[in-house]
Amino acid sequence: MIPMPSSAALQVVILAAGQGKRMRSGLPKVLHPIAGRPLINHVIDTARLLAPTRLCVVIGHGGDQVRAALADVDVAWATQDRQLGTGHAVMQALPYLDEAGTVLILYGDVPLIASGTLRSLVDAASAGHVALLTQSLEQPKGYGRIVRNGAGRVVRIVEEKDASEAQRGIREVNTGIMALPRASLARWLGQLKNENAQGEYYLTDVIAAAVADGVAVEVRHPAAAHESLGVNSKSELATLERHYQMNRANQLMQQGVTLADPARIDVRGDLNCGRDVAIDVNCIFEGTVTLGDGVKVGANCILRDVSIGAGTEIKPFTLIEEGVIGANARIGPYARIRPGTQLADDVHVGNFVEVKASSFGRGSKANHLAYVGDTTVGSGVNIGAGTITCNYDGANKHRTVIEDDVHIGSDVQLIAPVTVGKGATIGAGATISKDVPPGGLTLTEKKQVTKPDWKRPRK
């Protein structure tokens, strides 16, 4: 047989029909998240890197939920109505596969398998061989054991419940991931029997069938032990989350990012960093986040779908969502930047300031205790402590415009819709409900009164 390029006629089957009883959850196991995305999405994304011609997902328990969660994913769906074992599950996928090429079997609850490991496995199977992913464990309990002959060749896999005492001493175990020739797969599956401790049709039994047909069984190993770990409990889910995050942290540090503690960062999406970026502990990055050169992110910040310009400092306990922040800005601590906000270069947004659907021009500041919503703020504006834009009338949102070089004193209310003209100053405590002309000082004056004979109430 002439070997074919491994990427040609490669087909992938992902088994995702298990109930996951030990998860103790109404959510199908493969929909539990790693790094903010369902387990199965990680598997599908990795499979896509191999450019398969077909990708089939076998669902069972909670199948409707799985299909709904992956409605925008282009895969073929096969259903295993009764859970009769992994061999039976693969049988359900056969009608959705072409008759030739290599079939790669993956699992929807094994999210960290690397594309390089799978490429090595597929290459080993490209000449019509069977390729098996195995690894050696100090504590192999619970895994199927790899049984080899005197020449060291794999002859079969025995599940632990069916293994003898001697076989249970074998440390080389089956990960479940394998690549097989499609032309022989249907025949081998047809030979499966459920005469075992679990009464199931084991996919692993196709190895003995392949050996009986004289087909060579090649063995490959994962580059890292955690790649082939599956999820059967919330504890295992948490363990894989940490493996994923440590992998991501190591990638960031290799790119030159300084992490105060690589064990205390969560990346739940795409984090793109320039040079000399520094990230303190307990920060969460979701969606697509871009940090420019020299950005510093303080402890306990959450950034979601944002772009941060070079030299900007995000101080501790700041939440930024769906916004764009320019260069050399200072945000926080304890600031909240809500969706639709654009802050230009050199902007300062300080502690306990909330900004929503607003833009700030270059060099403008709201240093503390303010709310700015649905507002266009010009350049060089100073917004005093306690200032709020009253943008909602109970039914509709209205816009405020603050032009360049405006100075707003403390405890000012701007009742939208309203415009504050260029260079204007608004005195402390003012309630502004009409447009303010450019320049000059605008006050809403109230007479100060002292009552010397007033007595404080007493109990």
Q: Catalytic residue numbers?
A: 368
Cβ atoms < 10 Å from Cβ of 210: 24
Q: Are strands 365-373 and 400-402 parallel, antiparallel or unpaired?
A: unpaired
Cβ atoms < 10 Å from Cβ of 220: 23
| Residue 362 and residue 377 in contact, taking contact as beta carbons nearer than 8 Å | no
d(CA 132, CA 196): 22
3-state SS string over the chain?
A: CCCCCCCCCEEEEEEECCCCHHHCCCCCHHHCEECCEEHHHHHHHHHHCCCCCEEEEEEECEHHHHHHHCCCCCCEEEECCCCCCHHHHHHHHHHHCCCCCEEEEEECCCCCCCHHHHHHHHHHHCCCCEEEEEEECCCCCCCCEEEECCCCCEEEEECHHHCCHHHHCCCEEEEEEEEEEHHHHHHHHHCCCCCCCCCCCCHHHHHHHHHHCCCCEEEECCCCHHHHCCCCCHHHHHHHHHHHHHHHHHHHHHCCCEECCCCCEEEEEEEEECCCCEECCCEEEEEEEEECCCCEECCCCEEECCEECCCCEECCCCEEECEEECCCCEECCCCEECCCEEECCCCEEEEEEEEECCEECCCCEEEEEEEEECEEECCCCEECCCCEEECECCCCECCEEECCCCEECCCCEEECCEEECCCCEECCCCEECCCECCCCEECCCCCCCCCCCCCCCCC
| Residue 423 and residue 439 in contact, taking contact as beta carbons nearer than 8 Å | yes
d(CA 171, CA 326): 55
